[in-house]
Structure 1
Amino acid sequence: MTQSDERETIWLTEDALAKKKAELEELRGPARAEIVDRISAARDEGDLKENSGYHAAREALSSLDGRIAQLEQMLDRAEVGEVTDDGTISPGYKVTYRLGTMDPDTCLLGAREMMTGEDIQVISPQSPLGSALIGAKKGQTVSYTAPNGKDIEVEIQDAEPYSG
């Protein structure tokens, strides 16, 4: 991963941002305190080399700390996109499109963190396809240049704010 990839903006809706902040607060507070208490209780049992409860709690703490770091990095790069319902595609839109003669595909223009359970392809607004979709409307055809240099036409069949 290049340094520019690490700093790529993560587009979130206001709702998704609030959920990620609440998750971070929970992990930093009650969830972390509970695991630290489990480590302390296991440590009080004695020999740590063969104490499976201690090792399991340490692994859980390591996993939790990793998720905390991931959320902090994401929130540091997050930008709230205001999703309008005027049909103009912007981050936060669910778009059904067709590339040439291929079957239609549906994607969420934004970040995986915006999703709330639906299994849908996510396309970054900074990608060639994402950049071509931004500002377009249902029924329009836009084009972009693929990494191989080929120009690709995209027919927008449907576009609506993602409600997850």
Structure 2
Amino acid sequence: MSVVEEPIWLTQDALRHLEQELDTIVREGADDDQSQARAVELRGIIRRAQVGARPDDGVVEPGMQVTVEFAADGSHETFLLGSRALIGADGDLAVFSPESPLGQAIAGLLPGDRFEYRTPTGATVAGAVVSAVPHA
């Protein structure tokens, strides 16, 4: 039985950035373990890349630009829910991994839904999803 891999939704600029990073690793012949591991990771992301906007169903899931409001102070944060490998690949937008405490707490939610999670330090954070739109 084969495993179905979910596509990774990227902008054209983000894909280009990742391809350039992989090209640099290959061109420089980096043979240290860290560079080789990064090359494997990049190849996997590029293979699964789907360029364009993820379908807009309003559900918080990888590839969506999400805005949340934190209950403690009413502050808002907007970020891309996606692979940590995309940090810096798409401008200044922060990236949160779906495996992070926040990512796990909001996965599958819709705007207006409330969430709560524990930070690695043990603090409880609560809030609500304000919006979830495909990242363009």
Instruction: Please identify the structure whose Cα radius of gyration is greater.
Output: 1
Q: Secondary structure, in 3 states, of the residue corresponding to 1:118?
A: coil
Instruction: Tell me, in whole angstroms, the C-alpha distance in 2 between the residues paired with 1:162 and 1:74.
Output: 20
Q: CA deviation at 1:73?
A: 2.9
The structure with higher relative contact order (CA 8 Å, sep 6+) is 2
Instruction: Provide structure 1 residue ranges, at least 5 long, that are not aligned to the other structure.
Output: 1-10, 33-60
Higher helix share: 1
> Once the two structures are aligned, what percentage of the paired residues are identical?
27
Q: Residue 76 of structure 2 aligns with which residue?
A: 104
Q: Secondary structure, in 3 states, of the residue corresponding to 2:95?
A: strand
Are 1:74 and 2:35 counterparts? no
TM-score between both structures, scaled by the size of structure 1: 0.56
Are 1:85 and 2:81 counterparts? no
Q: Residue 122 of structure 2 aligns with which residue?
A: 149
Q: Residue 48 of structure 1 aligns with which residue?
A: none
Instruction: Provide structure 2 residue ranges, at least 5 long, that are not aligned to the other structure.
Output: 1-6
- Number of aligned pairs? 121
Q: CA deviation at 1:78?
A: 7.5
Q: 1:122 to 1:73 in 2, by over 3 A?
A: same
Instruction: Tell me, in whole angstroms, the C-alpha distance in 2 between the residues paired with 1:81 and 1:87.
Output: 21
Are 1:125 and 2:121 counterparts? no
Instruction: Tell me, in whole angstroms, the C-alpha distance in 2 between the residues paired with 1:81 and 1:149.
Output: 35
